Structure 1
Amino acid sequence: MATIPPADLYSPSVQISIYRDRRKPLSTILPPLIFGTATFNHQYNSDPFALDTTGLVSDALTHGIRAFDTSPYYGPSETLLGAALDTPFVRTTFPRSSYFILTKVGRIGEAEFDYSPQWVQQSIARSLERLHTDYLDVVYCHDVEFVTPQEVLGAVKELRRIRDEEGKVRYVGISGYPIDILGSLSEMILHETGEPLDIVMSYANFTIQNESLAGPGGVDRLRKAGVDVVPNASPLGMGLLRRQGVPVGAMGDFHPASRELRQAVRDASSFCDQHGEKLEVIAIRYALETWLSAGASVGSRGDPASGVPWKQESNEEVGGAKLGVSVIGVSRAPELEKTMLVWRSILDGLEGGRETAILAGRWSRAYEWAQNRKRAVQILAEGVQEVLGKWVGYTWESPPPGFVNKRGNAGGGEGGNGNAKDKQATKVKVEELDAPWPTPAASPEPMPFVDESKEEKIIPLR
């Protein structure tokens, strides 16, 4: 075996080669709880700049969360997350190697997609700058159902080229809503390239209302296509499964749910009220807890968030099994605190939970309480599903009927059918789409946010 001269040891090409040889399966290292930052956006909040995003990210890290999901499509999300991760406190307390950053490429606007290699390169460069990092742990092709399969294939190949030649990307995947499209694209990519996707994220497809991701067309099909990890995002169905209904931010009512479905959810919320519970609490615990096992075959053995300040916990301490990966999102500190309490209780109910609680100095009967709570949530979840009736398992169309990509197929990946003139038109400079995201005129300067409202909200992430 050839030796590497000491002078060449730290050259970029050698470092990339060493990294590629040591690349571990994502399912051995990705944490099972990911903090999604789609809420750092005008879609979920009227003014995301008024949120204490720095405090939220710091609190998440101190509670053991070690993965953050974002996207250029989420308005100022990448910028806000990057600023929060670049504070002196985070830089000195949590090395970059201690947490994961997951972002996306391809989706630019509500009806604007560009999967061309040129745009993928520019998008990656911009994300690295916004997030103050030299590499991205995971990059998804964002909302793949809106473009052609050949465009997706071209973007995946370009991301893998960046991974192998530049080392700026470590794992490559796709994300979207329709499960059948995610499955067919995963199969196509494996067939065409001989390499399976590292990760495929679906959203709003494993909730108290719709569990289709756990069906044979979901995790089983994706696993057979060689997909390593399948995170479940939006356990509250993009905010649908809440007492106060879907969140309406500065961009208005974006949710595709019909009036009839929303009414059924209100009826289910009233059912929970009658039993002294909130719909969103039952829904989020049911989804997080059930997905740990339902998504285990495409889950991960990464260290879970302990939910306890300044307490890091290993996978072995909660039984050592693969756990289904979930993405959750919050906007304010009380939401994060409540979510972490729920997550801690879920972990206490896993195998070895009793011993873990005792060793950590927590209540000796935490395991027993967690098991009883699990049964109570299961009973109410079944009641909610009875109220929802015909809407259980329902999915909406994505893309919606009549959708047209404003960029067409011109700059797409391999197989694009645009002409040379159209392709040239897609080469938009990053600066043209990277103007500062202004706060509304009446908004304060970014500063720690104090929520004086007593109303508790839990908003899911995509």
Structure 2
Amino acid sequence: MATTPIEHPSTTSTLPMRQKPIPYTLINGRRTPLSSILPPLVFGTATFNHQYNSDPFALDTTGLVTSALTHGIRAFDTSPYYGPSEQLLGNALATPFVRETFPRNSYMVLTKVGRIAGDEFDYSKEWVRQSVNRSLERLHTEYLDLVYCHDVEFVSPAEVLEAVKELRRIRDEEGIIRYIGISGYPLNVLGDMAELILRETGEPLDAVQSYANFTLQNQTLAGSRGILRLKAAGVDVVPNASILGMGLLRRDGVPVGGMGDFHPAPSPLREAVRNASDFCNAYGERIEVIAIRFALETWISAGALCGSKGDPASGIPWKHESIDDVGGSKLGVSVIGVSRAPELEKTMLVWRSILDGLEGGQETAVQAGRWYRAWEWSTNRRKAVQILAEGVQEVLGEGFNYAWASPGPGYVNKREKKKGGIVQQSEAPAPWLTPAASPEAVPVQDVGDVGEERSLPLR
């Protein structure tokens, strides 16, 4: 299990009072729009999984979640498919310190239904209900803020529609779900499903989460096939996840965890990314750094059409940031995935700098006692990153905007239904590795003991 959180030097100031609730209301069947309250920076916990780490139980997930909260993050994304992620996140949010300082209504929990394993999906009403109840138990919560149908491209449109209708029934009759969306990779499928659901039900989706479609390597989410089509289908919020392309945009290549090399990127694309990494090195930059800053900073504006006015994370421990402090306009929503304290610390520094470059950033910095030239530095940094991003696009060549097949050739869903609606599983899902069964655990050390190569996000 995760260790007891260790307070970092930047988080040892006097602890504040209980944090304020996110302003959600439900009156006469009308609820606060998700785009009014979802924070524009979401902590993704797909990294609490054997795909990205050989032993997620050895990670200090409790310390990570606690530090994220103190830095202003107020939304966490998980899934039953992410191995022990729901369990680890739930345990981190259930510590006495978090319960006392960060009441449940002061942050949002986002999870998913439908995906069980790499080749196993179940979107039936029976499984949706079972999955939701299991997530509530694992996450130690009485309600879920947002539930996605996970990776909708792997099942039929009829199955997606059935799952969405059941989630809405649970929302309306049981009140344990607040918002409903879908997630996936192929943009054409996401657009098709959003349009189908609006047409068949008369109600648009609250959210459509896309991953790896707005990065240094692939920016199609910002175009007519992405956010513009989803907006036309009435989608309220379009979060951009996996800004490193599931770890593709790293100098060391895709991460290989306890499940081996899972990444679907073909060899030519990997080679092109390696060349792009060498290009960044020639200008004294790491491709990860450019990729993170570019995606977060550019999506703030490119994703604003389906963004949110939720308060952003300040990036500074115990400092609350209001959306009005950074101009008051909608900001595109991004999901970040980190595994270790240095990754979180560096991501928060980048995020703070990005906020400094927004409208009113100069005045906000001065009022907060930060450097009066923070806004100037941020805008200059944005220009430099944009130049390198354009260079990376040139180096990638045909690899720019390339999308791999999802699902891949020969895919077969091993989950089947018997007649009469009884769910039958063709073979039992492999349970996630427990600490005893995991590869030899190496305790995660604090910032000073982690090398530079592991100091940036994996996802």
Partner of 2:424: 426
2:318 match: secondary structure:
coil
1:171 match: secondary structure:
strand
Q: Judging changes above 3 Å, is the alpha-carbon distance between structure 1 residues 447 and 387 closer, same or farther for their aligned structure 2 residues?
A: closer
Provide Cα deviations, 1:92-131, integer angstroms capped at 9, x if missing partner: 1101000000000000001000000110000001000000
1:88, CA displacement in angstroms?
Answer: 0.7
What is the alpha-carbon distance in structure 1 between the residues aligned to residue 78 and residue 441 of structure 2? 22
Q: Judging changes above 3 Å, is the alpha-carbon distance between structure 1 residues 196 and 136 closer, same or farther for their aligned structure 2 residues?
A: same
1:426 match: secondary structure:
strand
1:445, CA displacement in angstroms?
Answer: 8.1
Select 1:24's aligned residue among 23, 27, 32: 32
Partner of 1:271: 279
8 Å contact kept, 1:328–1:460: no
1:458, CA displacement in angstroms?
Answer: 2.8
Higher relative contact order (CA 8 A, sep 6+): 1
What is the alpha-carbon distance in structure 2 between the residues aligned to residue 394 and residue 372 of structure 1? 29
Q: Structure 1 residue 254 and structure 2 residue 262: aligned? A: yes
1:390, CA displacement in angstroms?
Answer: 1.1
Partner of 1:215: 223
What is the alpha-carbon distance in structure 2 between the residues aligned to residue 428 and residue 270 of structure 1? 46
Q: Judging changes above 3 Å, is the alpha-carbon distance between structure 1 residues 428 and 345 closer, same or farther for their aligned structure 2 residues?
A: same
Which amino acid letter does the alignment assign opposite residue 455 of structure 1?
E
1:144-223 matches, within 5 Å, as 144-223=152-231
Gaps (5+ residues) in structure 2? 1-24
What is the alpha-carbon distance in structure 1 between the residues aligned to residue 96 and residue 426 of structure 2? 35
8 Å contact kept, 1:50–1:449: no
What is the alpha-carbon distance in structure 1 between the residues aligned to residue 119 and residue 323 of structure 2? 41
1:401, CA displacement in angstroms?
Answer: 1.1
Q: Judging changes above 3 Å, is the alpha-carbon distance between structure 1 residues 459 and 175 closer, same or farther for their aligned structure 2 residues?
A: same
Which amino acid letter does the alignment assign opposite residue 123 of structure 1?
S
1:44 match: secondary structure:
coil
Which amino acid letter does the alignment assign opposite residue 419 of structure 1?
K
1:19, CA displacement in angstroms?
Answer: 5.3
What is the alpha-carbon distance in structure 2 between the residues aligned to residue 117 and residue 37 of structure 1? 26
Q: Judging changes above 3 Å, is the alpha-carbon distance between structure 1 residues 18 and 70 closer, same or farther for their aligned structure 2 residues?
A: closer
What is the alpha-carbon distance in structure 2 between the residues aligned to residue 135 and residue 376 of structure 1? 43
8 Å contact kept, 1:55–1:448: no
What RMSD over aligned residues (CA atoms) do the two structures have, in Å? 2.0
Q: Structure 1 residue 312 and structure 2 residue 320: aligned? A: yes
1:401 match: secondary structure:
coil
Q: Structure 1 residue 384 and structure 2 residue 382: aligned? A: no
Gaps (5+ residues) in structure 1? 1-16, 411-417
Which amino acid letter does the alignment assign opposite residue 435 of structure 2?
T
8 Å contact kept, 1:237–1:460: no
Provide Cα deviations, 1:321-362, integer angstroms capped at 9, x if missing partner: 100000001110001000000000000000110011011111
Q: Structure 1 residue 439 and structure 2 residue 435: aligned? A: yes
8 Å contact kept, 2:54–2:439: no
What is the alpha-carbon distance in structure 2 between the residues aligned to residue 177 and residue 230 of structure 1? 13
What is the alpha-carbon distance in structure 1 between the residues aligned to residue 138 and residue 262 of structure 2? 26
Q: Judging changes above 3 Å, is the alpha-carbon distance between structure 1 residues 322 and 397 closer, same or farther for their aligned structure 2 residues?
A: same
Provide Cα deviations, 1:262-294, integer angstroms capped at 9, x if missing partner: 111111111111101000000110011000010
2:179 match: secondary structure:
strand
1:216 match: secondary structure:
coil
1:192, CA displacement in angstroms?
Answer: 0.3
What is the alpha-carbon distance in structure 2 between the residues aligned to residue 425 and residue 280 of structure 1? 43
Q: Structure 1 residue 333 and structure 2 residue 331: aligned? A: no
Provide Cα deviations, 1:413-444, integer angstroms capped at 9, x if missing partner: xxxxx633xx4243899xx7695741254767
2:274 match: secondary structure:
helix
What is the alpha-carbon distance in structure 1 between the residues aligned to residue 326 and residue 232 of structure 2? 27
Q: TM-score, normalised by structure 1?
A: 0.90
What is the alpha-carbon distance in structure 2 between the residues aligned to residue 145 and residue 378 of structure 1? 32
Provide Cα deviations, 1:65-105, integer angstroms capped at 9, x if missing partner: 00000000000000000000000110011010000000000
Q: Structure 1 residue 353 and structure 2 residue 361: aligned? A: yes
Which amino acid letter does the alignment assign opposite residue 453 of structure 2?
E
Partner of 1:49: 57
1:312, CA displacement in angstroms?
Answer: 0.9
Select 2:376's aligned residue among 361, 368, 375: 368
Which amino acid letter does the alignment assign opposite residue 459 of structure 1?
P
Which amino acid letter does the alignment assign opposite residue 451 of structure 2?
S
Q: Judging changes above 3 Å, is the alpha-carbon distance between structure 1 residues 23 and 272 closer, same or farther for their aligned structure 2 residues?
A: same
8 Å contact kept, 1:31–1:303: yes
What is the alpha-carbon distance in structure 1 between the residues aligned to residue 282 and residue 356 of structure 2? 28
What is the alpha-carbon distance in structure 2 between the residues aligned to residue 442 and residue 105 of structure 1? 25
Partner of 2:454: 456
Which amino acid letter does the alignment assign opposite residue 327 of structure 1?
V
1:23, CA displacement in angstroms?
Answer: 1.0
1:457, CA displacement in angstroms?
Answer: 3.9
* Matched-pair identity in %: 69
What is the alpha-carbon distance in structure 2 between the residues aligned to residue 21 and residue 442 of structure 1? 47
Partner of 1:14: none
The 10-residue stretch of structure 1 (183-192 or 434-443) with the greater mean CA deviation from structure 2? 434-443
8 Å contact kept, 2:52–2:257: yes
1:371, CA displacement in angstroms?
Answer: 0.3
1:34 match: secondary structure:
strand
In the alignment of these two chains, the number of paired residues is 434
